[in-house]
């Protein structure tokens, strides 16, 4: 057994860390204030190869593995949770299902532009009345000649505002519930696609969260992903991988807050000593670090299992659950260590506190993760 990263993974980790330190960290606060990741940063992240880390080189990916991808999202999220989820949703939820379920023609057509970051990907599953219960999908499609015609709407779509390439889920018969759902690859610049709004949010404010309406959106039949009626399975499989990405985002947010809190506890003096000399603070640091390390081990294990083609459903659910709860815990304690300063926007801890919460909710709420884990235990 070996818990060390390989030399290649260490090279990657330090390369991404240097990139984040120079290119993302200095503007993370501005990204939050502006509700926008600047296009120049998206371009730089694309040139760095962060948008297609684990897909083969023949499709324009970097050819690395899932563990490399987890490290990328973690390192980016240490500085900026918004940039972390941009990469995670794009890679896991758009590139991922096309690579896993697409035909050779579909992979050749769509993946190079996604892996290079020329198009930003998104995953269009959630609807006003279909969140955790994706079987309730009310966006409908029917076939007309060589096209599918789609009508309905989607909400809370991460990266939607880029109008890039989407994986869209729609039903041909609502009474079939999840068995009526199919998946389509959609160019979101097509006629019939309307952005209703980009949401104003508590956290990850630099990330687009978009509501869409589809009015007679016409999609060529060759854009059907997988078989008709198999959309739900595609969505669930995709979210398995996505959870590793979101867990890595949560881990990065927690680590970013922890690093700052640890440093601050050594600098800040009260009663003539650094506050890290007080056991009340020492215990906080110990609890925070233990949760971070536990999450990291589970994330790296889940990624390693995916790389080794093992069934990683349970581990991906556990790592998402552990890391997101570590993120909300660690950012909360970090703010307590910072005291009043933590509540002031200049110190970034409040941003991390706000960014952390969503990781317990999206990519399957933590309640759904517990359902997944317990179902497998009792199966």
Partner 1 sequence: MKILVCIKQVPDLESRFKPDAAGVWFSDTDLAFRMNEYDEYAVEQAVRLREQLGDSAELTVLSIGPDRVVEAVKKALAMGCDRAVHVQDTAVHLKDPWQIASIIAAYAGDQGFDLIFTGMQSQDRGSAQVGVSLAEQLGVACATTLVGFEYADGAITAKRELEGGIKGVVKLRTPVLVTCQLGLNTPRYPTLPNIMKAKRKEITAIPVAELLKEEARTTATSFHHPAKKGSGLILEGDVGDLVEKVIGILKEKTSVLR
User: Applying CB under 8 A, which residues contact partner 1?
Assistant: 7-8, 10-12, 14-15, 18-19, 47-50, 53, 57, 62-64, 68, 72
**Alpha helices (H) along the chain:** 7-19, 28-34, 39-47, 66-79, 81-90, 96-101, 104-115, 231-267, 279-307, 313-338, 349-357, 366-378
**Distance of closest approach, residue 14 Cβ to partner 1, in angstroms:** 6
Q: CA-CA distance, 45 to 23, in Å (whole number)?
A: 9
| CA distance to 155, 182, 189, per residue, from 192 (Å) | 16, 19, 9
Q: CA-CA distance, 33 to 28, in Å (whole number)?
A: 9
Strand, coil or helix: what is 225? strand
Catalytic residue from among 75, 127, 333, 363: 363
Q: What are the two backbone dihedrals, phi and then psi, of residue 216, each rounded to the nearest 5 degrees?
A: 50, 45
Smaller CB separation from partner 1, 57 or 215: 57
| Residue among 270, 279, 156, 276 nearest 211 (CA) | 156
Smaller CB separation from partner 1, 23 or 199: 23
Smaller CB separation from partner 1, 12 or 302: 12
What sign has the CA pseudo-torsion 66, 362, 291, 261? positive
Smaller CB separation from partner 1, 53 or 249: 53
**Distance of closest approach, residue 343 Cβ to partner 1, in angstroms:** 28
**Distance of closest approach, residue 278 Cβ to partner 1, in angstroms:** 21
Whether 333 and 288 have beta carbons less than 8 Å apart is answered as yes
Whether 255 is catalytic: no
Smaller CB separation from partner 1, 43 or 132: 43
**Distance of closest approach, residue 76 Cβ to partner 1, in angstroms:** 12
Angle at 242 between CA 236 and CA 248, to 5 degrees: 150
**Distance of closest approach, residue 4 Cβ to partner 1, in angstroms:** 11
Residues with catalytic annotation? 363
């Amino acid at each position: 057994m070996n818990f060390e990263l390989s030399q290649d993974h260490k090279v990657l980790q330090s390369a991404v860390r240097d990139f984040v330190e120079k290119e993302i960290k200095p503007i993370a606060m501005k990204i939050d204030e502006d509700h926008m990741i600047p296009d120049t940063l998206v371009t730089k992240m694309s040139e760095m190869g962060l948008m297609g880390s684990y897909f083969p080189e023949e499709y324009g990916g970097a050819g690395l593995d899932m563990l490399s991808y987890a490290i990328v999202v973690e390192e980016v999220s240490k500085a900026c949770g918004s940039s972390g989820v941009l990469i995670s949703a794009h890679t896991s939820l758009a590139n991922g299902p096309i690579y896993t379920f697409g035909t050779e023609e579909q992979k050749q057509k769509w993946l190079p532009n996604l892996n290079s970051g020329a198009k930003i990907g998104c995953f269009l599953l959630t609807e006003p009345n279909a969140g955790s219960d994706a079987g309730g999908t009310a966006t409908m499609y029917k076939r007309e000649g060589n096209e599918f015609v789609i009508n309905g709407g989607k909400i809370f779509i991460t990266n939607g505002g880029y109008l890039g390439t989407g994986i869209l889920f729609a039903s041909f018969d609502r009474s079939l519930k999840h068995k009526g759902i199919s998946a389509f690859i959609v160019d979101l610049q097509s006629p019939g696609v309307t952005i209703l709004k980009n949401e104003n949010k508590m956290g990850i404010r630099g990330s687009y969260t978009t509501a869409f309406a589809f009015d007679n959106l016409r999609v060529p039949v060759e854009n059907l992903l997988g078989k008709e009626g198999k959309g739900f399975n595609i969505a669930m499989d995709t979210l398995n991988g996505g959870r590793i990405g979101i867990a890595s985002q949560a881990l990065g947010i927690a680590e970013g807050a922890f690093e700052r809190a640890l440093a601050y506890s050594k600098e800040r003096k009260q009663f003539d000593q650094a506050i890290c000399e007080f056991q009340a603070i020492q215990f906080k640091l110990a609890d925070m670090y233990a949760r971070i390390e536990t999450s990291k081990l589970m994330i790296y294990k889940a990624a390693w299992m995916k790389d080794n083609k093992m069934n990683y459903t349970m581990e991906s659910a556990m790592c998402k659950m552990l890391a997101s709860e570590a993120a909300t815990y660690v950012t909360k304690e970090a703010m307590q260590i910072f005291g009043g300063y933590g509540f002031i926007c200049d110190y970034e801890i409040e941003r991390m506190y706000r960014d952390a919460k969503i990781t317990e909710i999206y990519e399957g709420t933590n309640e759904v993760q517990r359902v997944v884990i317990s179902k497998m235990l009792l199966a």
